[in-house]
Amino acid sequence: MQFLTKLCELADRLAPPRIVNAHCDLPCGVYDPAQARVEAESVKAIMEKYATSDDPYFKERAIIIKEERAAEVNKHLDILWYQYFQPAHLEKYPQLHDVFWNAKKATSQAKRSNDVAIAQGLLDSIAEIDRIFWETKKA
Protein backbone atom coordinates (compact mmCIF):
# COMPACT_ATOMS: atom_id res chain seq x y z
CA MET A 1 0.00 0.00 0.00
CA GLN A 2 2.76 2.43 0.91
CA PHE A 3 4.56 1.55 -2.33
CA LEU A 4 1.41 2.39 -4.30
CA THR A 5 1.08 5.74 -2.55
CA LYS A 6 4.69 6.62 -3.36
CA LEU A 7 4.20 5.53 -6.96
CA CYS A 8 1.13 7.80 -7.31
CA GLU A 9 3.04 10.74 -5.81
CA LEU A 10 5.86 10.16 -8.27
CA ALA A 11 3.43 9.95 -11.18
CA ASP A 12 1.84 13.26 -10.11
CA ARG A 13 5.24 14.94 -10.04
CA LEU A 14 6.22 13.63 -13.46
CA ALA A 15 2.91 14.39 -15.16
CA PRO A 16 2.77 17.54 -17.29
CA PRO A 17 1.23 20.51 -15.47
CA ARG A 18 -2.45 21.13 -15.95
CA ILE A 19 -3.34 24.43 -17.54
CA VAL A 20 -6.23 26.27 -15.93
CA ASN A 21 -7.73 29.63 -16.74
CA ALA A 22 -9.28 32.08 -14.32
CA HIS A 23 -9.56 35.84 -14.31
CA CYS A 24 -8.68 36.02 -10.61
CA ASP A 25 -6.67 34.04 -8.07
CA LEU A 26 -9.69 32.82 -6.14
CA PRO A 27 -13.40 32.55 -6.88
CA CYS A 28 -14.78 36.06 -7.19
CA GLY A 29 -17.10 35.59 -4.25
CA VAL A 30 -14.22 36.24 -1.85
CA TYR A 31 -13.70 39.87 -2.91
CA ASP A 32 -15.72 42.65 -1.32
CA PRO A 33 -15.00 46.38 -0.81
CA ALA A 34 -16.75 46.09 2.56
CA GLN A 35 -13.47 45.02 4.12
CA ALA A 36 -11.81 48.29 3.10
CA ARG A 37 -14.88 50.28 4.16
CA VAL A 38 -14.97 48.78 7.66
CA GLU A 39 -11.30 49.59 8.19
CA ALA A 40 -11.80 53.13 6.81
CA GLU A 41 -14.74 53.64 9.18
CA SER A 42 -12.40 52.65 12.02
CA VAL A 43 -9.87 55.22 10.84
CA LYS A 44 -12.51 57.93 10.86
CA ALA A 45 -13.89 56.92 14.27
CA ILE A 46 -10.39 56.93 15.76
CA MET A 47 -9.77 60.42 14.37
CA GLU A 48 -13.02 61.63 15.92
CA LYS A 49 -12.14 60.14 19.32
CA TYR A 50 -8.61 61.54 19.07
CA ALA A 51 -10.01 65.05 18.57
CA THR A 52 -12.15 64.86 21.73
CA SER A 53 -9.51 63.43 24.07
CA ASP A 54 -7.09 65.28 26.32
CA ASP A 55 -5.28 62.11 27.39
CA PRO A 56 -1.81 62.02 25.76
CA TYR A 57 -1.50 58.24 26.26
CA PHE A 58 -4.86 57.63 24.60
CA LYS A 59 -3.87 59.90 21.72
CA GLU A 60 -0.60 58.02 21.22
CA ARG A 61 -2.40 54.66 21.16
CA ALA A 62 -5.07 56.08 18.85
CA ILE A 63 -2.44 57.17 16.33
CA ILE A 64 -0.80 53.74 16.35
CA ILE A 65 -4.11 51.94 15.88
CA LYS A 66 -5.26 54.42 13.22
CA GLU A 67 -2.09 53.80 11.22
CA GLU A 68 -2.59 50.03 11.48
CA ARG A 69 -6.21 50.33 10.29
CA ALA A 70 -5.13 52.61 7.40
CA ALA A 71 -2.56 49.98 6.38
CA GLU A 72 -5.39 47.43 6.32
CA VAL A 73 -7.45 49.74 4.09
CA ASN A 74 -4.47 49.98 1.78
CA LYS A 75 -4.10 46.18 1.72
CA HIS A 76 -7.77 45.60 0.90
CA LEU A 77 -7.73 48.23 -1.84
CA ASP A 78 -4.63 46.57 -3.35
CA ILE A 79 -6.35 43.19 -3.35
CA LEU A 80 -9.35 44.62 -5.20
CA TRP A 81 -7.21 46.57 -7.66
CA TYR A 82 -4.66 43.89 -8.47
CA GLN A 83 -6.73 40.72 -8.12
CA TYR A 84 -10.35 41.56 -8.88
CA PHE A 85 -10.58 44.44 -11.35
CA GLN A 86 -9.58 43.59 -14.91
CA PRO A 87 -8.93 45.59 -18.12
CA ALA A 88 -12.54 45.05 -19.20
CA HIS A 89 -13.70 46.82 -16.03
CA LEU A 90 -11.45 49.79 -16.83
CA GLU A 91 -12.91 49.98 -20.33
CA LYS A 92 -16.43 50.13 -18.95
CA TYR A 93 -15.52 52.37 -15.99
CA PRO A 94 -12.68 54.65 -17.15
CA GLN A 95 -12.90 56.66 -13.90
CA LEU A 96 -11.92 53.55 -11.90
CA HIS A 97 -8.20 54.28 -12.02
CA ASP A 98 -8.72 57.81 -10.64
CA VAL A 99 -11.12 56.56 -7.97
CA PHE A 100 -8.53 54.06 -6.76
CA TRP A 101 -5.77 56.67 -6.95
CA ASN A 102 -7.86 59.03 -4.80
CA ALA A 103 -8.62 56.28 -2.29
CA LYS A 104 -4.97 55.26 -2.03
CA LYS A 105 -3.92 58.91 -1.69
CA ALA A 106 -6.52 59.48 1.05
CA THR A 107 -5.30 56.35 2.84
CA SER A 108 -1.76 57.68 2.82
CA GLN A 109 -2.93 61.09 4.05
CA ALA A 110 -5.02 59.48 6.81
CA LYS A 111 -1.92 57.80 8.17
CA ARG A 112 -0.20 61.19 8.53
CA SER A 113 -3.16 63.26 9.65
CA ASN A 114 -6.05 63.34 12.07
CA ASP A 115 -8.29 65.34 9.75
CA VAL A 116 -11.73 63.73 9.74
CA ALA A 117 -12.43 65.27 6.31
CA ILE A 118 -9.62 63.14 4.85
CA ALA A 119 -11.17 60.02 6.37
CA GLN A 120 -14.55 61.02 4.94
CA GLY A 121 -12.96 61.47 1.50
CA LEU A 122 -11.52 57.99 1.82
CA LEU A 123 -14.95 56.60 2.68
CA ASP A 124 -16.45 58.45 -0.30
CA SER A 125 -13.86 56.92 -2.65
CA ILE A 126 -14.50 53.46 -1.23
CA ALA A 127 -18.24 53.99 -1.71
CA GLU A 128 -17.60 54.70 -5.41
CA ILE A 129 -15.39 51.60 -5.68
CA ASP A 130 -18.15 49.61 -3.97
CA ARG A 131 -20.77 50.91 -6.42
CA ILE A 132 -18.64 49.98 -9.44
CA PHE A 133 -17.69 46.63 -7.91
CA TRP A 134 -21.32 45.58 -7.49
CA GLU A 135 -22.18 46.75 -11.00
CA THR A 136 -19.42 44.47 -12.34
CA LYS A 137 -20.86 41.57 -10.36
CA LYS A 138 -24.19 41.99 -12.18
CA ALA A 139 -22.56 41.57 -15.55
Mean pLDDT of the chain: 89
pLDDT of residue 9: 74
Q: Give the pLDDT confidence of 38-47 residue by residue, as tens digits.
A: 999 999 999 9
Residue 138: per-residue pLDDT: 86
* Alpha carbons 49 and 119: distance in angstroms, whole number: 13
Domain-embedded: residue 12:
no
Whether the pLDDT of residue 139 is over 80: the answer is: no
Provide the CATH number for the domain around residue 112: 1.20.120.400
Q: Let me know if residue 85 belongs to a domain.
A: yes
The pLDDT tens digits for 103-121 are 999 999 999 999 999 999 9
- Domain membership of residue 6 (yes or no) is no
CA distances from 75 to 21, 26, 46, 78, 133 (A): 25, 16, 19, 5, 17
Residue 8 is predicted with a pLDDT of 65
Give the structural domain span for 59.
31-138
Domain assignment of residue 105, yes or no: yes
Q: How many domains does the chain have?
A: 1
